Structure 1
């Protein structure tokens, strides 16, 4: 009985110590998107992303960061007029609300970190031509990157985001589908963040 009581006490003290180390802090993030579409006759398009997050810091080495971000993606496309004399360059916008969670690993417990995690992207709108196929409403992405956070909470990050679902929902099985290859979102993100200190 004494052994069980001792084990329970040690376990309880460990939980209390772990709880004391965990901090939860809100934050904001935003910056530049450079996006494109794979297997699409297009060029990269510049736009922005902005959102918020909650940094759950378990210890000085590991942080879990749920995020909610508005991200403007798509590509720059050259449109040719049917029977017309020329062409024009237009932006095909493909915009999402991104619900993600990244894990941050801090080297030596300092400001430099690597990050990675998944995100579910829900389309808010697009301006793809009416005569074309309409992009589907969701995407699932994987994010990876590096960053540095100053002691005052200001951070700088570079990320790469790779979509995993064809923007038209093509699964690669139907050989009669118009597109031969998957058309996926790709995004480079360069931005800043600020983590508020919660006392």
Structure 2
């Protein structure tokens, strides 16, 4: 009988906790301003990202948001050939699997966010070199969510793996020479109301 009471108590608490968690699917998209670190004469490239999300709200102060996105990154490089400079946009396009933790101030719309992202390369336009097929990134940012579920966010995404696989020690390279993805994102998202 005692085991039954304990089991019923645990189930009741689990059901009560489940009732407080709110899960809302959504869509997101926006502007990418990307570059690659430690490359001379390069500039940022403007492109886009688009994807989906699931916002898991534990209470009015904290939620976790898994995300699946298509993100067009890279940079615009310059090279010298036949006596003149040329520019070319270098494409690094990823499917990103991420999860950000969102901290709402006073339970309101303004929030800070941070979390990891695993980026799987789906295409690139590099001719003489072959960039890595994946990247691990860290995302941080701020945002504001309106009561109707529309959210505006600014994020910075820092890659942690050299696009050519150098670890900063081998092959005569140092940490200040590794080439990392860096992306500033401005975007909107919408989470659908669920009952």
Q: TM-score, normalised by structure 1?
A: 0.90
Segments of structure 2 that go 5 or more residues without pairing to the other structure are none
Residue 51 of structure 1 aligns with which residue?
51
Residue 173 of structure 1 aligns with which residue?
169
1:20 is displaced (CA, Å) by 0.7
Residue 61 of structure 2 aligns with which residue?
61
Segments of structure 1 that go 5 or more residues without pairing to the other structure are none
Residue 72 of structure 1 aligns with which residue?
72
Mapping 1:75-90, distance limit 5 Å: 75-81=75-81, 84-90=82-88
**Distance in 2 between the 1:154 and 1:112 partners?**
12
1:59 is displaced (CA, Å) by 1.2
**Distance in 2 between the 1:198 and 1:9 partners?**
28
1:23 is displaced (CA, Å) by 1.2
2:100 matches 1:102 = yes
Residue 13 of structure 1 aligns with which residue?
12
Cα–Cα, structure 1 residues 158 and 180, in superposed 2: closer, same or farther, change >3 Å?
Answer: closer
Contact (CA 8 Å) 2:169, 2:175: kept in 1 or not?
no
2:193 to 172, 192, 197: 197
Contact (CA 8 Å) 2:168, 2:175: kept in 1 or not?
no
Residue 34 of structure 1 aligns with which residue?
33
Deviation by residue 1:36-88 (Cα, 9 ceiling, x = unmatched): 1110121111111100011111111111111000001101111211xx13121
**Distance in 2 between the 1:20 and 1:36 partners?**
44
1:195 is displaced (CA, Å) by 0.3
Question: How much is the aligned-residue C-alpha RMSD, in angstroms?
Answer: 2.0
**Distance in 2 between the 1:24 and 1:85 partners?**
59
1:159 is displaced (CA, Å) by 0.4
Deviation by residue 1:68-111 (Cα, 9 ceiling, x = unmatched): 00001101111211xx1312111111110000111111111111
The alignment of Structure 1 onto Structure 2 pairs a total of residues equal to 194
2:184 matches 1:185 = no
**Distance in 2 between the 1:177 and 1:161 partners?**
23
2:118 matches 1:115 = no
Mapping 1:114-193, distance limit 5 Å: 114-128=112-126, 130-131=127-128, 133-176=129-172, 181-193=177-189
Q: TM-score, normalised by structure 2?
A: 0.92
Cα–Cα, structure 1 residues 179 and 114, in superposed 2: closer, same or farther, change >3 Å?
Answer: closer
1:139 is displaced (CA, Å) by 0.3
